[in-house]
Structure 1
Amino acid sequence: MVPPRPAAVPTILHWGADLGECDLETLADSAVPAIPPSSIDVPLRLSLLPSLEEGWTGRPSLSGTPAAGFRLVSAHSSDNTASVRATSSDSSQEVITELEMSPEGVLRVRHRLTNHGTADVDLSGLDVLLPIPAEASELLDFTGLWSHERQPQRAPLRHGVWSRESRHGRPGHDDAFLMMAGRPGFDFRHGRVWAVHLAWSGDKRIWAERSALGYGVLGAGELLAPGEVRLAPGETYETPWLVAVFSDAGIDGLSDRLHPWIRASSAPRLPRPVVLNTWEAVYFDQDLPTLERLADAAAEVGVERFVLDDGWFTGRRDDKRALGDWSVDPAIWPDGLHPLIKWVHDRGMDFGLWVEPEMISPDSSLAAAHPDWILDNGPTWRWQRVLDLSTPGAYDHVLSRLTALLTEYPIAFLKWDHNRDLLVPGVSHRQTTALYRLLAEVRTAFPDVEIESCASGGARIDLGILELVDRFWTSDTNDPLDRQRIQRWTGVLIPPEYLGGHLGAATAHVTGRTSALEFRLATALFGSAGIEWDLTAATPAERAEIAAWIAEYKRLRPLLHTGVVVRADDRLHGVVAQDRSRAVYALVATGSPAAALPPPVRFPGLDPDRLYTVRPIGTQPRVVQDAPPAWLAAGSVTLPGRVLAEVGLPVPLLAPERALLLAVE
């Protein structure tokens, strides 16, 4: 960090490629720009708190307060952190900006605003802005909808603001997720890319702006409704962390920094167990004999965790009632869940349970007793409303019910669901902070219980809640064709061991599309693997194939959940060991071929100077060819990593919606 110039709020001179040894004082002096005609009479600087008072006419960092003209008070830095303190010209407000650079090359920035005035301050926004160079002129972010999350979209960055705003009370299925700005045409393996993510689970905005003044920025912050954050004298508001990362090796280069940083800071619990979730197997039709048979089938194929989904609590026969009444239904479970849990434990599996603590059914005992705890009065969503966790009574009720369940029963895992948007203005901040507090209390009281964040699938996947959970439910669809795309793009930010992916029935319950078992198995392999299928209806041959797949997953798990994720093109993705001694790839055909002979597939991430043997593993997929490539007919081939990366191998002609798994050792 260069010592700031007197009274000036510091500016970020550079975040991007490593500059090596550099005299930062000289860099700062040389970076002072020219003064153009018809402009302010001093060089325009984009500070950590850009504002009109500095001549910045783009979107400001701080809005909704009367204070202006921030000046530097102090700045401190160490090897990888910095703190900058600035106050407004009337000393009524103070902003402390924290910056952290991790050893992996991930930058985190946040602001903390304190009201030192005599009147309340209604804060409209406090955002973090980072400069991007002119070459970062193409944007990539995401949209989506239920069961189709993380759909990429690209656009050029022209003059003006491209802003993505979430008003769902959660990030939403259409969450922008990770906004990237890069050289036009950047892809997974090539191009310079700058990217930002806001580590926050409530309403937010993330944007890119190119000003006619010459600057470009990426910015993000919590999206605040009028009056949502009101600071009394002496009170402080802290922004979520903005997570920023640069790559000069395409999108995979972003993952190469983000994944090891997340693993180091969040310490995932490994190994990730193979899960069977009961939802698509039985839905609400729960009874002990049925679930005992399902548990028997799960144990037979090697499942390690049995999760009882929705339908276990009092009065819950469909999704129209009983949310909030978190007690075991005596009509279904006269002896509680103890007999089922014992059955599961006796077969070598641990036990998990579904809950949706943030919601309440209008048709429930809780709603009848405490209508004042209901947050919304608009249209219901899935016949449910939102429980106001910022109300002490509601918060205490949920915490006490969860505590009672986790105390009475040996529950190893909670699938924590959130099935609707809030649809109430001005409550996202308080509801999100209450949720974080609730999760933290549960984790403190029951540190061995793992929690999965589910929000009608993947509508709440972010680095804010990741500090409090162990797994994400990536999407409500188990259709492998859709999952290939969803998992590929979600995995740019989130390491695979956090992303739940399940083997579903042959005909997907969400889409109605029928897929081959081999394609479903190959798709579910790359993540935190599980099953969501009535295995009692599977044939003996199918169960044998599933058992072989689980055994392979357990063998590959140390690689899959610690390695480097690589993506060559739309056909190939894989994971390479940190020491590059081995890898596993999936060659995927999502549709019909564009040519009779597709181009060879190249294998990224290998050591160019080592020899590797490539061989197929798992169930061999259906092909449309008179003869396979010669190397595949021989069963394997051994070549240098450089050759595999630069020349590649001819591919079998896979039928549509098929996948071939390849071990490289």
Structure 2
Amino acid sequence: MTQTWRIDTAEQTLVLAARDARLAQVVYWGPALAADTDLNMLAQASALDVAAGMLDDHPELSICPEASQSFPGQVGLVVFDATGAQIHPKFRYACEDQDGAALRLSYTDETHGLTYTATFEACCDTNIIVAQASLTAQTPVRLHWLAAPVMPASQAATHMIDYAGRWCGEFQEVKTSWTAGIRLRENPTGRTGHEHFPALVVPELEGTYARGGAHAFHYGWSGGHRMIAEELPDGRRQVQFGAATGIEKTADTSFQTAPLYLTYSEKGINGCAVAFQRHARKHIVTFPDPDRPRPVHYNCWEAVYFDHNLPELQEIATRAAALGAERFVLDDGWFGTRDDDTRALSEWTVDARKYPDGLTPLIDHIHAQGMSFGIWFEPEMINPVSTVYDAHPEWALGDRDQILGRNQMVLNMALPEVRGFLFDRIAAILRAYDVDYIKWDHNRVLPQPDAAQTRGTYQLLDQLRAEFPHVEIESCASGGGRIDFGILQRTQRVWLSDSNDALERARIQHGASMFLPASVTGSHVGPRHCHTSGRVHSMAFRGWIAAQRHMGFEMDPRELTDEEAKTLTEITVWWKAERAWLMQADILRLDRLDPSILAEMHLAQDAQTFVVFANKIDSSKQILPRPLRLTGLDADALYHITLENRDEQSHLSRGPAVLKLHDVTLSGQYLMHHGLNLPWSFPNQTWVIKGLRQS
């Protein structure tokens, strides 16, 4: 007996099939199939031959591959009974429930008292399929590994793309060729991590950003994950995602993976990126006031650090507002006796030495400048030198002699008394002052990974959001150390990186656009002399890089020359004029004919408007930059093209490049096939090109 099921969006179809009541396996995942496709015939067509010297049948590459079926690769479940003996389940079909776009399949192993359930839900408006797995047991068991529903990887792919990184260098693409064996990436740090973003992209037949087929995966969990991309000896390939192994510390009767977000596109890697960006905007992030324009952000960290002085902060606020800022965020240093990073973390009461009248005088001044007020917390952390640690050393996670991170330890968020204490302290600030924004930081890894830590943080965030629904929250973890759809269900902005170096930012933002829309991605104009890299960049370059995402400033505005202030103000005015559509646009990365150009095209939802940001990150190998091919346009339509920052051209650019001289009108076919000839420029400059559809 063969069972079949299908899940559809407008652009993709996922077909599952099962024989003899065994676990289902994915037999098709690709472009949308006709509604009348014979699924039984498709299941038959997917059957593989058997060669000599093998088992008499192929163990299924099922949604949870089983050791009991002699599966020749990594299995989808590793679980132990109360005595420590490993269980090798043999699941059989129990029941199903399919309601439109949602499918639920349940399987039982009566011998061991286990039930495995897989769910699939199609989000047709974003071209995302959300898959999740759960395990229940009649008696407590110890879980070592549970994969979200396991997916096959295309045998038409030559390579895969995943994401590495470091502090101030997040979202670095890593291309790895498919070969026999396994690529395993595991992040045991207890947070999403700079090092291993939980995602994988599998382009087919050397597909590019703009062309070819591609599958993509993102695991929406903030507590460390494991990724397996494996080619079996017979050539089949599988992809597994789940929480990092061994992070469930106690025996239990119920476990569940985080959601695994899946998508397939025939429009290149960009098609997958658009699906993730739209899904984040429509189904993951919930803004306190969705109709409020994204405010230009000012953060005082790199202006004052811990040296808080009310008159200076008021002067900085005045200058920031004059530049166009609409929100002022007071960063670390406002509480306890916090004069450096060695003390007071976890106290969360206003420092009366720095603010003898509380925060009200500063907030009143900020409001008088037309800005709203935000404030920094790092709730999950504690300094050993603090009144809270003196009273409750047992609240710290791990041993007392552990290696500290930035002079701090981690609070045990699994403890209700810790969450209660933090809620009360944070709520007291939010009730006492007019706060519309929290920068929520997480500056060190866990001493021991524990899923309960992440669940506890989720609970605290959920409680605060329920009590203070008007407050927006930013996820920061030494920059981009905790970014994923799990944390974004509870926050509305991410601090993508602690690096305000515009050149590094261009690269980081480019990689992150695979998953993150501009509206949630904070990007700030940093100091002239970058504090994290030592580089010096022009204000124009710094400003245009920040304008490619949710724009902000993070420098001392008192350092600006009149010319720098004028340039920044003009770019900010431009961003405000465009943000209504720009923050809802699809970010399409452009294929790089010239490796010196890192370019993105932000295409409005109605496809009538676009902006290209062409970032010159290096010198071209040849004399002139190669043409820049656009994407996602109507080939038959005409587009009016304007170089928005024409006045930034170099005096060494002497030729008749038409964009330097005047606007042009060109067809979508020309723009996508030939592309635009850019003016010559030095490295570390951005050309901003706006297009309006004419017909």
Indicate if the aligned counterparts of 2:300 and 2:331 stay in contact, CA closer than 8 A.
Answer: yes
Which residue of structure 2 aligns with residue 474 of structure 1? 496
What is the DSSP-based 3-state SS (H/G/I as helix, E as strand, rest coil) of the residue aligned with 1:178?
strand
Within a 5 Å distance, the mapping from 1:649-660 to structure 2 comes to: 649-660=676-687
Structure 2 counterpart of 1:581: 608
Other structure's SS at 2:165 match: strand
Give yes or no for the alignment of 1:92 onto 2:116: no
CA distance in 2, matches of 1:634, 1:168: 53
For 1:157, the aligned partner's letter is W
Q: Who is 2:29 aligned against?
A: 15
Cα displacement string for residues 561-587 of structure 1 (whole angstroms, at most 9, x for unaligned residues)? 111211212432120112221111112
Task: Tell whether 2:145 aligns with 1:121.
Answer: no
Which residue is equivalent to 1:563?
585
**Residue correspondence of structure 1 range 73-152 to structure 2 within 5 A:** 73-90=94-111, 92-103=113-124, 104-117=126-139, 120-128=140-148, 129-152=150-173
Aligned partner of 1:600 among 605, 623, 627: 627
Provide closer, same or farther for how the CA distance between residues 369 and 212 of structure 1 changes in structure 2, counting only shifts above 3 A: same
> Which range moved further: 445-454 or 294-303?
294-303
Aligned to 2:195: 174
Q: Which amino acid aligns with 2:119?
A: E
- Per-residue CA deviations over 1:183-218 (Å, capped at 9, x if unaligned) read 353321123222211110012101200001332011
Aligned twin of 2:546: 524
CA distance in 2, matches of 1:36, 1:333: 78
Pick the aligned partner of 2:666 from 639, 643, 658: 639
What CA deviation, in whole Å up to 9, does each residue of 1:55-111 have, x standing for no partner?
A: 312110111231521101012212211001101141511111111121032121111
Range that drifts further, 48-57 or 513-522 = 48-57
Q: 2:215 aligns with which of 194, 198, 203?
A: 194
Which amino acid in 2 is paired with 1:422?
L
Structure 1: which 5+ residue stretches go unaligned? none
Equivalent-residue separation in structure 2 for 1:67 and 1:630 (angstroms): 68
1:261 aligns with 2:279: yes
Task: Identify the range of structure 1 (250-259 vs 367-376) with the bigger mean alpha-carbon deviation.
Answer: 250-259
Separation of aligned partners in 2, 1:628 and 1:285: 51
C-alpha contact 2:108 2:114 (8 A) present in aligned 1: yes
Which structure 2 residues correspond to residues 539-554 of structure 1 after superposition, within 5 A? Answer: 539-554=561-576
| Distance in 2 of aligned mates of 1:466 and 1:514 | 33
Measure, in 1, the Cα distance between the counterparts of 2:131 and 2:225: 16
In 1, distance between residues paired with 2:115 and 2:145? 15
1:627-648: per-residue Cα shift (whole Å, max 9, x none)? 1443124221111121111122
1:238 aligns with 2:256: yes
Residue 603 of structure 1: how far off its partner (Å): 2.0
Distance 2:542 2:266 in 1: 34
Per the alignment, residue 327 of structure 2 pairs with: 305
Cα offset, 1:6, TM superposition: 4.0
Q: Using a 3 Å threshold, how does the CA distance of structure 1 residues 227 and 101 change in structure 2: closer, same or farther? A: closer
The alpha-carbon deviation at position 608 of structure 1 amounts to 1.8
SS at match of 2:135: strand
Query: Hey, what does 2:83 align to over in structure 1?
Result: none
Shift of residue 624 of structure 1? 6.6
Secondary structure of the 1:170 match is coil
**Conservation of the 8 A alpha-carbon contact between 1:274 and 1:305:** yes
CA 1:494–1:200: 2 relative to 1, 3 Å: same
Change (3 A) 1:227 1:254: closer
Query: Are the aligned partners of 1:198 and 1:206 in contact in 2 as well (CA < 8 Å)?
Result: no
Secondary structure at the aligned position of 1:172 is classed as coil
Conserved 8 A contact 1:136-1:194? no
Q: Name the residue aligned to 1:37.
A: 52
Match of 1:664 in 2: 691
Find the aligned partners of 2:308 and 2:123 in 1 and give their Cα distance.
48
Match of 1:55 in 2: 70
Q: Residue 498 of structure 1 corresponds to which residue in structure 2? A: 520
The aligned counterpart of 2:416 is 392
Q: Give deviations 1:448-491, integer Å, cap 9, x for gaps.
A: 10000000000111111110000000000000000000000011
Alignment check: 8 A CA contact 2:660 2:679 kept: no
> Could you tell me which amino acid in structure 2 is paired with residue 309 of structure 1?
D
Note the C-alpha offset of 1:24.
1.5
d(CA) in 2 for partners of 1:227, 1:285: 42
CA distance in 2, matches of 1:145, 1:361: 24
Which secondary structure state, in structure 1, belongs to the residue aligned with residue 295 of structure 2?
coil
Q: CA separation in 2, counterparts of 1:490 and 1:571?
A: 13
Say which is worse superposed, 466-475 or 36-45, in terms of deviation.
Answer: 36-45
User: Which residue of 334, 339, 344 corresponds with 2:366?
Assistant: 344
State the shift of 1:626 in Å. Answer: 4.4
% same residue: 33
Cα distance, 1:37 vs. partner? 2.6
Amino acid paired to 1:584? V
1:203 to 212, 219, 224: 224
Compared with structure 1, are the counterparts of its residues 624 and 492 closer, same or farther at alpha carbon in structure 2 (3 Å cutoff)?
Answer: farther
The 3-state SS of whatever aligns with 1:422 is coil
SS state at 2:317 partner: helix
* 1:151-185 Cα distance to aligned partner (Å, 9 max, x none): 11111111111011001111211114321122353
1:247 aligns to 2:265 (yes or no): yes
Moved more, 130-139 or 487-496: 130-139
How far does residue 286 in structure 1 lie from its aligned partner after superposition?
Answer: 0.7
Superposed displacement of residue 275, structure 1: 0.4
CA–CA distance in structure 1, aligned partners of residues 79 and 540 of structure 2: 56
CA distance in 2 between counterparts of 1:619 and 1:632 reads 8
8 Å CA contact 1:559–1:583 kept in 2: the answer is: no
Tell me the distance in 2 between the aligned counterparts of 1:72 and 1:624: 73
Which residue of the other structure, out of 637, 640, 654, is the alignment partner of 1:610?
637
Match of 1:365 in 2: 387
Matched positions, count: 658
Amino acid of the residue matched to residue 419 of structure 2? Answer: Y
**2:627, 2:676 within 8 Å by CA — same for their partners in 1?**
yes
SS at match of 1:13: strand
| Kept after mapping to 2: 8 A contact 1:624/1:655 | no
- Of 276, 293, 301, 2:315 maps to 293
C-alpha distance in 1 between matches for 2:265 and 2:451: 32
Q: How far off is 1:358 after superposition?
A: 0.4
SS of 1:12's partner is strand
Answer yes or no: is the 8 Å Cα contact 1:563–1:578 preserved in 2. Answer: yes
Aligned residue identity for 1:15: W
Query: 2:468 maps to what in 1?
Result: 446
Aligned equivalents of 2:676, 2:225: Cα separation in 1? 45
Contact 1:176–1:206, Cα closer than 8 Å, also in 2: no
User: What's the TM-score once normalised by structure 2's chain length?
Assistant: 0.92
Structure 2 residue aligned with 1:155 = 176
Shift of 1:4: 4.8
239-248 vs 363-372, greater mean Cα deviation: 239-248
Counterpart in 1 of 2:12?
Answer: none
Which runs of no fewer than 5 residues in structure 2 stay unpaired? 7-16, 81-86
Q: Structure 1 531/126 Cα, relative in aligned 2: closer, same or farther at 3 Å?
A: same
SS across alignment from 1:197: strand
Check conservation: 2:229, 2:237, Cα contact below 8 A: yes
Q: Secondary structure at the match of 1:114?
A: strand
